[in-house]
Structure 1
């Protein structure tokens, strides 16, 4: 069971397309009142589903063309300390925990391969890191997305009211 319905999904889709869209514009696009849009946005934020509005940065266009994923195997007792130390490395974009041989997957970006190598070197010097495995990202043919999943999850959830979806 989904905690969002089709109207929420449609609202999020429009925000993904244009995060600068105003409440009145969203209401007109969706055929609902401005108050409904505001209430839905507030509910989505309060529930932690909508975590804010951020610009999408093209790192390559910004002069940072090298991206990689670094898997780190850890001494489990040092997890919190390792994450804290990773957070001060500027090239570290994201850290996720995972199951498998490696405990953390670290997304990294750098200007050059030498910069990447230095960043990885700083990672493996952190107490508690046992092993690293770096995979260089060549391209991103499918960028991070959530809308197809939300559409799938809410396809039969209803629109939240008795009228049909706008076309």
Structure 2
């Protein structure tokens, strides 16, 4: 049994058993690798879309923090938003970013195991959303009210 080598592709009568010019050999290699590269590119585009957050433009978006107790340093993040933005938020199936011209953005980052809300001066608030938090958000009624999440130190006020 003989093995095929790269050198065999470029010989006029190589181990492949047919005459192939160097141009024909390159064409054969292109036929083999171009579909694989195309599939890889499509997969990378799909993965990138899943990670980039869906942007929700909120008419009202305010974020405040409050101490859970005067005796501790634990904070709760209070997010105030309009009902339309809240209706889109509770349908969370991937990362979502609430934006407003008058406030820092709030990104609900899905696919995490745990964490606490953080504030980055450049990107705004990041709220980690576990599967439990996602289920809790989906269970909230899409109407005005005040909702405190049990899985995360976050409260949502819907106007």
For CA contacts below 8 A with separation 6 or more, give which structure has more relative contact order: 1
Q: Which has the higher strand share?
A: 2
Q: Which has the higher helix share?
A: 1
TM range (shorter): under 0.3
| Pair member with larger Rg | 2
